[in-house]
Structure 1
Amino acid sequence: MVDDSAPVSAIIEKEAIVSGVINAVINGVIAWFMFKGNATVPLTVDTISAHEKTVFSSGVMTAFLLSQILGTIAFFNFGKKAKSLQLADADLLDRSFFFFGLRTVLFYSLFAFGTTALIALFLQKFVGSILVTPFIGAIVMGLIAGIAAWFINAAVMKSMLRSE
């Protein structure tokens, strides 16, 4: 069973926040280089078949793929750290990546994908198309990546310490 004490939660939150901040900066810079040639960048557009690059069209896939990559990394890195710090029973930490880890990472990646897509959908539905500067687009993209990174790290680490 998991030790739900403050030190365990503090370790998880610290690692998740660090990952979120690092990924927000990295993906924000990447987005800046992607958007900087445009005068304005739409956050969303009103049709799914649009060939125009938007902040959320890039952000949805970034959230999904980043969650898969970081979730897998978190599974293996946190597993080692949790064993060395004895944060949970060995039975919980010895579960294999196939199928426990893969299922966990895929579940939370799909959650991040769906949440980001729904935010874009509701933004388009209730606010309409919003044009922003490339700098604001890069900030929004960084926020999407940072929140996705924070979420997937915290979710995977917490699920590793829970029994099924």
Structure 2
Amino acid sequence: MIHDSAKANDIIQKEAIVSGIINAVINGIIGWFMFQGKAAIPMTVDTISTHEKTVFSSGVMTAFMLSLILGAIAFFNFGKKAKNLQLAPVELLDRPFFFFGLRTVLFYSLFAFGTAALVALFWQKFLGTILVTPLIAAIILGLIAGVAAWFINAAVMKEMLRPE
């Protein structure tokens, strides 16, 4: 059995990009309905205790929750596909969800959460509160979701092929 890492990388990147695009569109549409009817939406605000909905407050939680869900789905779906295509030794692909898969998904989901939160923090620190239209807010929310979906899929699938 020959394991082709270039083939595996191509499959991972294609699946991750498709997931990113689909989730960007879906979450952009959800964002449109969420922000619709408001005159302007702040990208960030200068206090964590505000109850005002911002683009990044929605985006950070979207990135985290989407990563948890898509990471678990990727773990199970890619495991089957990788076995069928013989992308890695069976021992790597037979690792259980509890605790290998769960640990992997949680690690990368928390990484996505932290990254999105840091982007929001630095945005507020250096750019301040910027108001955007509902359309721009929806597009940015979609972009955040798309990047999170691409990242979690690629990260989980690559980790599944990596020996511990």
| Fold shared by both chains (TM-score > 0.5) | yes
Instruction: Report the equivalent of 1:147.
Output: 147
Partner of 2:11, secondary structure, is helix
Instruction: Report the equivalent of 1:108.
Output: 108
1:11-26 matched pairs, under 5 angstroms: 11-26=11-26
Quote the Cα distance in structure 2 between the aligned partners of 1:51 and 1:109: 24
What's the CA shift for 1:37?
A: 1.1
Quote the Cα distance in structure 1 between the aligned partners of 2:107 and 2:45: 28
What's the CA shift for 1:149?
A: 0.1
Unmatched tracts of structure 1, length 5 or more: none
Unmatched tracts of structure 2, length 5 or more: none
Quote the Cα distance in structure 1 between the aligned partners of 2:42 and 2:9: 38
1:5-154 matched pairs, under 5 angstroms: 5-154=5-154
- Residues 105 and 41 of structure 1, relative CA distance in 2, 3 Å threshold: same
Partner of 1:56, secondary structure, is helix
Instruction: Report the equivalent of 1:162.
Output: 162
TM-score scaled by length of structure 2: 0.98
- Paired residues in the alignment total 163
What's the CA shift for 1:79?
A: 0.1
Quote the Cα distance in structure 2 between the aligned partners of 1:5 and 1:109: 25
TM-score scaled by length of structure 1: 0.98
Asked if 1 retains the 8 angstrom alpha-carbon contact of 2:3 and 2:86, the reply is no
Q: How far does the alpha carbon of each residue in 1:82-102 deviate from its partner, in whole angstroms, 9 at most, with x for none?
A: 000010001000000000000
What's the CA shift for 1:4?
A: 5.5
Q: CA RMSD in A?
A: 1.0
AA at the equivalent of 1:108: Y
Q: How far does the alpha carbon of each residue in 1:114-135 deviate from its partner, in whole angstroms, 9 at most, with x for none?
A: 0000000000000100000000
AA at the equivalent of 1:64: F
Asked if 1 retains the 8 angstrom alpha-carbon contact of 2:5 and 2:87, the reply is no
